[in-house]
């Protein structure tokens, strides 16, 4: 199948909300309970429109125009979460001393394991490197952790993030350091 990666737009937001919910419900079912997923969709997971406005959030479309993947990166300090997450810091990161944020990767389960997550990650890392970043940080879901490990990210100790209703969800903070820029490409 042919896939095309493009910048996300404000018009994509309703489709992205649906994609994110479907993706985590289907691909996260082995790692999280339905109650955890529902509670996480109230803020920990979801669309962060700041990424769209910053033009650092992407979608992947099929040849017919169906959006089947999304993900991005950020120059801002917020590490994860949607617009509705209470704890946000939209101040700018210093690429000389801080890590770019890899943010909000979700793939339609019908299109999983076809290299779409890696396609998004390559684009995000390349753009962040062009902006001067040599390190990347993210907050991985348990199903996402497998992709990031395969792409060279190193995990820290998992943590339990509090959710509404007294629930919690397990995430894994991860980082990757890249060295050497050559004509816009990044080498390890």
pTM: 0.91
**Each residue's pLDDT tens digit, 23-54:** 999 999 999 999 999 999 998 999 999 999 99
pLDDT at 10: 98
Residue 21 has pLDDT above 90, yes or no: yes
Residue 18 has pLDDT above 60, yes or no: yes
Burial of 44 (0-12, 13-18, 19+ CB in 10 A): buried
Residue 75 has pLDDT above 90, yes or no: yes
**Each residue's pLDDT tens digit, 95-145:** 999 999 999 999 999 999 999 999 999 999 999 999 999 999 999 999 999
pLDDT at 179: 60
Q: What are phi and psi of 24, to 5 degrees?
A: -70, -35
Going along the chain from its start, the domains and CATH numbers come out as: 3-187 (3.40.630.30)
Residue 187 has pLDDT above 70, yes or no: no
pLDDT at 183: 36
Count CB atoms within 10 A of the CB of residue 32.
Answer: 21
């Amino acid at each position: 199948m042919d896939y095309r990666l493009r910048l996300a737009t404000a018009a994509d937001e309703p489709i992205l909300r649906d994609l994110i919910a479907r993706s985590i419900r289907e691909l996260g079912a082995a790692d999280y309970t339905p109650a955890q997923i529902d509670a996480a969709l109230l803020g920990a997971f979801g669309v962060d429109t700041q990424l769209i406005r910053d033009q650092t959030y992407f979608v992947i479309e099929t040849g017919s125009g169906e959006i089947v993947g999304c993900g991005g990166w950020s120059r801002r300090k917020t590490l994860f979460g949607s617009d509705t997450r209470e704890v946000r810091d939209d101040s700018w990161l210093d690429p000389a001393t801080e890590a770019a944020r890899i943010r909000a990767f979700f793939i339609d389960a019908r299109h999983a394991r076809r290299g779409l997550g890696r396609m998004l990650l390559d684009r995000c890392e390349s753009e962040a490197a062009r902006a001067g970043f040599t390190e990347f940080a993210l907050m991985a879901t348990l199903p996402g952790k497998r992709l990031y490990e395969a792409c060279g990210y190193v995990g820290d100790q998992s943590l339990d993030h509090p959710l509404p209703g007294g629930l919690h969800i397990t995430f894994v903070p991860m980082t990757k350091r890249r060295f050497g820029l050559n004509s816009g490409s990044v080498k390890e």
